[in-house]
Structure 1
Amino acid sequence: MVATLDQVFRQEWGRVLATLIGFLGDFDLAEEAAQEAFAIAAERWPRDGVPRNPRAWLMTTARNQATDRIRRNRTLAAKFGLLVADDRAEVPMKTTTFPDERLELIFTCCHPALAVEAQVALTLRTLGGLTTDEIARAFLVPQRTMAQRLVRAKGKIKAARIPFRVPPAHLLRDRLDAVLAVVYLIFNEGYGGRDELAAEAIWLGRALAELLPDDPEVRGLLAMMLLHDSRRAARFSDGELVLLGDQDRSRWDTNQITDGRAELDRALALGGRGPYVLQAAIASLHAEVPCDWAQIAALYGELTRLTSSPVVELNRAIAVAETQGAEAGLRIVDGLGLDDFRYLHSTRAELLKRLGRTDEARDAYRRARQLTDDGAERRFLERRLTELAAAAGSG
């Protein structure tokens, strides 16, 4: 039953909360009501059984909790009047461009009145159901900082009376960069082990492609997610992380690869050469046998020029190491800084290992392990350290 509740939470949190926010117009009240509904489910479902329609049960319960809370709080009497006016409807209904309220929630969270970091964080919290700590790790900031950021973002939406709606067509593109960033980060969080978030991001990508069919970056983001997600089943074996070069390609989803490349072709036909289109092109090359590492390095170089991102340059270093040798890749890595970024240290360790610099490789693996919370990644790094120790012993 615990597994069932956890699964329902992961599947339904975003939908339930988005509907409540659209109905109540208050992020905090909606989140409290949703949390209470899930807590009641945790108490009753093991005793009474899972209802036939968990989402409808959760929505009804959450709505009742919100109604009770409003009744208890006289300062919210005006909102209670609005709630009573619609009390005959089992679930609030309204005309919308989208199949449900999740995209409306994204565009609300991505209002230009909010800083971009707050836009992304708030949507990850409300739509994806990530904890403050999980979002803080994704942003590489302290949990306290992220908590304050979320509180300020909700307060700004309330104070500015930002409407819960999709902006009119002439304003859509002004909000698109932040929306794409939200979807991208939700996918990344899901790709790290939360399958339902990756599926959510792909769903949102498809919905955005329907909304803006001629935008190459929308197509590029969708293509990139499909291509990366096609390798999901091969990324782990018996719970252990498997690097790209060691993956069983028979476990890759060829239908998703085909779909991803079709979206990439559409993006390129539209003249796309933005960051998401470039990342999709790189992901497509990774799916080829053998990989064209020179072309991948060139695309990462173009992406670095667009983004000025040291993380992108780290990925270019990996491709350069495949074509020009580990020493060339290491020179790039050592000029990046990023001392608190675990993938820099794990990449550096791999390159040092190739060069036979065992002691330095061991230190780099240990630093990466120190920065890693993910269990599968830690076990992978432990295996690498064990392999180094065995190699040193046999030598």
Structure 2
Amino acid sequence: MSMFPPDHALRTTLADEIHARPPEAVEAPARASYVAVLVEADQRTREFGHLCSLCDSLGVEPPLPGASHFRAEFNTERGHCRLKWERHGEFSGYTVIAADVNERPFQAVAASLLPEGWLAALPGATIAAAHATLLVAPEETRLAGLLEQAFAGQTVAGAVVADGAARVYTDFRLHEGCTRFVLVDNHLTERQAGRTLQRLFEIEAYRTLALLALPIARRQGPRIVQIEAALAQLTDGIARGEGDDEVLLHELTRLAAEVESGLAASQFRFGACRAYEDLVMRRIAELREQRLSGVPPIEEFMARRFRPAVATCATVSQRLHDLSERVAQASALLSTRVDITRERQNQALLASMDRRAKLQLRLQQTVEGLSVAAICYYVAGLVGYGAKGLKAGGLPVNADLLTGLSIPLVAVAVVLAVRRARRRVAADEAAH
């Protein structure tokens, strides 16, 4: 019986995650190859099947369904090697490690031990590829010759790493399609050697993935300049009160659409660029570099060549965000201008309606006065006819006098009736 409550469903998975991808133990002399392949979501199943087919053909237990990493040892017709596969967010990494018995570095790379054509048949596109050789520390004169052969006389970056346990050299150039690393083992442990190789390969992969944003930044640059110029012209027109509001609003809407289109097309890559740059600099820091005489360290090389490119991407990204805010501010200014114009128009309309209402009231009062006079006339006439009838009936009635006396009374009664009707209408309107 357990002394604790039941485990969370993900407890074991989360506990195992930090141990999921340990570095390989590598003993010098050794060689290693690495390839990072951009794999689309709809290619993941094919990639997994391709890996399983390799395992089946060489009699090795394949990875479990849904696995994101795998390692195995293979005995092929070309020799013995280890394969390590890791699936990342947008790419997969393949590392091949084998012993090195060749006299010259990179004479036969580790990837050549896999069945011919297997790597080339992987679904996706290669974004980074590298070969590394791990040497037992040779004499300095022999090392200089090996470096000359490995890098064909190109400028080399390098440093003492792992607190003096090794030295690393590279030129970050493509030699037959692959970057090369020479790792000289002074007194590395096997795990240290594996971690160092993994860091070097990850630096190469993350560096290239970060720079995927650079072509986008270069394409966006001229477009941003055009939008900035158009926005400055529109803002100047708004400030001066020039131009038709509808035309200005149409242009602002078009600029806003262009800016948002640029943001939508680039922000994923710009965000990935920042994340990958951070990983590159972390991996370099983990190498714990110490300067070699006459050779720039990898961190310095990256500061001169890599970080300016990343800064370009960051600048373009920031300019796009700034443009979006400026377009929004210009739209707000134009909206304020339109609102003020509409308010003035509404005030003028209300004033016109007020004048019309007053005129209608005067006309109504005039009509009411005429109506009172007409009603008095007709009622007085009726009274006169009644008085004449009474007189004709023999009553001593003065018809003219009675008619004259009735006029003020009728007028007062009619005026009171009109006022009462007006108050009733006003009360009904107030109630609604």
Could you say which structure has the higher helix fraction? 1
Could you say which structure has the higher strand fraction? 2
Higher Cα radius of gyration: 2
Q: What TM-score, normalized by structure 2, do the two folds share?
A: 0.22
